[in-house]
């Protein structure tokens, strides 16, 4: 039965990835998510339904517009694949649990935000707040069904704590830490805090370790200068995803050290 759940979530994740591509393109441009239909950015031809199948269409058209043959960014393919992989992974990690929908929304939200931050160095409120509201609502539902109100309380406290920490850091040094990251901390604290405060710590450290390793590497390779801004939200999202998936292996290991 778990296999069926993972398969269904993988397919659902591919479709969600397709929707996230619309979010990633339109929200920073202040365009509506529902209308008009998706069109080719080069020639303006509307995308037909048969060309809108996640992954398959991109591969069949070899990443180009059917009408004008202008190349379509591989980002569309990557986001769809990542959506499928994250949802399959989330289902494998949690199984038939009531908090699965909340965690899938969290992962989808982080994927969209990471992609937007990577392209534009912003974390739009119009994405962060709806994700926060959906994750919070779904966690309240999960807590109501299972009676895990304690977990929800821990999640709320972690959300507030991470937000406060980043709020202070942003106040002290707005150039290093943007306010988008402060808002994102609310989501990360809530989602990871649901599993316990150690997951929050793990996600935070994983994000910074990854950012530091990549930053040092890029500077050493002269692909980046020391004072160039980095899309910190990308690393925060990666760190959080790492905590969700690797937490069950790593957290028990470091709880034994006192
Ligand atoms: Zn075109």
DSSP the chain: -HHHHHHHHHHHHHHHHHHHHHHHHHGGGT--SSSS--B-TTT-PBPPGGG-STTHHHHHTTTB-TTT--B--THHHHHHHHHHHHHHHHHHHH-S-TTHHHHHHHHHHHHHHHHHHHHHS---HHHHHHHHHHHHHHHHHHHHHH--HHHHHHHHHHHHHHHHHHHHHHHH-TTTS-HHHHHHHHHHHHHHHTT-HHHHHHHHHHHHHHHHHHHHHHHHTTSS-TTS---HHHHHHHHHHHHHHHHHHHHHHHHS--
Residue 126 has pLDDT above 90, yes or no: yes
| Per-residue pLDDT reduced to its tens digit, 198-219 | 999 999 999 999 999 998 898 8
Mean pLDDT of 71-75: 92
Cα(76) to ligand 1 centroid in Å equals 15
Cα(216) to ligand 1 centroid in Å equals 39
Contact yes or no for 255/198 (Cβ under 8 A): yes
Cα(126) to ligand 1 centroid in Å equals 28
So what's the pLDDT on residue 41?
Answer: 83
Cα(57) to ligand 1 centroid in Å equals 14
Note if the pTM is more than 0.85: yes
So what's the pLDDT on residue 247?
Answer: 93
Residue scoring higher pLDDT (198 or 229): 198
Cα(71) to ligand 1 centroid in Å equals 8
Per-residue pLDDT band at 258 (split at 50, 70, 90): low
Cα(243) to ligand 1 centroid in Å equals 40
Residue 87 has pLDDT above 80, yes or no: yes
Cα(209) to ligand 1 centroid in Å equals 41
Residue 177 has pLDDT above 70, yes or no: yes
Per-residue pLDDT band at 222 (split at 50, 70, 90): confident
Cα(110) to ligand 1 centroid in Å equals 29
């Amino acid at each position: 039965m778990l296999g069926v759940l993972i398969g269904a979530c993988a397919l659902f994740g591919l479709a969600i990835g397709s929707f996230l591509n619309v979010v990633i393109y339109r929200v920073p441009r202040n365009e509506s998510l529902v209308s008009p239909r998706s069109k080719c950015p080069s020639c303006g031809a509307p995308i037909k339904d048969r060309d809108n199948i996640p992954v398959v269409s991109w591969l069949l058209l070899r990443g180009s517009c059917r009408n004008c043959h202008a190349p379509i960014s591989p980002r569309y393919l990557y986001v769809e694949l990542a959506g499928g992989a994250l949802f399959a992974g989330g289902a494998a990690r949690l199984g038939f649990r009531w908090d699965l929908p909340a965690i899938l929304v969290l992962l989808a939200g982080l994927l969209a935000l990471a992609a937007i931050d990577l392209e534009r160095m912003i974390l739009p409120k119009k994405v962060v707040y709806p994700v926060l509201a959906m994750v919070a609502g779904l966690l309240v539902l999960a807590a109501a069904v299972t009676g895990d109100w304690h977990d929800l309380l821990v999640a709320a406290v972690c959300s507030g704590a991470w937000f406060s920490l980043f709020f202070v850091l942003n106040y002290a040094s707005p150039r290093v830490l943007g306010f988008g990251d402060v808002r994102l901390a609310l989501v990360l604290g809530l989602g990871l805090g649901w599993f316990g405060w150690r997951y929050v710590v793990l996600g935070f450290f994983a994000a910074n370790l990854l950012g530091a390793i990549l930053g040092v590497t890029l500077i050493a390779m002269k692909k980046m200068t020391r004072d160039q801004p980095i899309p910190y939200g990308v690393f925060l999202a990666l760190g959080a995803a790492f905590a969700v998936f690797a937490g069950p292996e790593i957290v028990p290991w470091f709880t034994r050290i006192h």
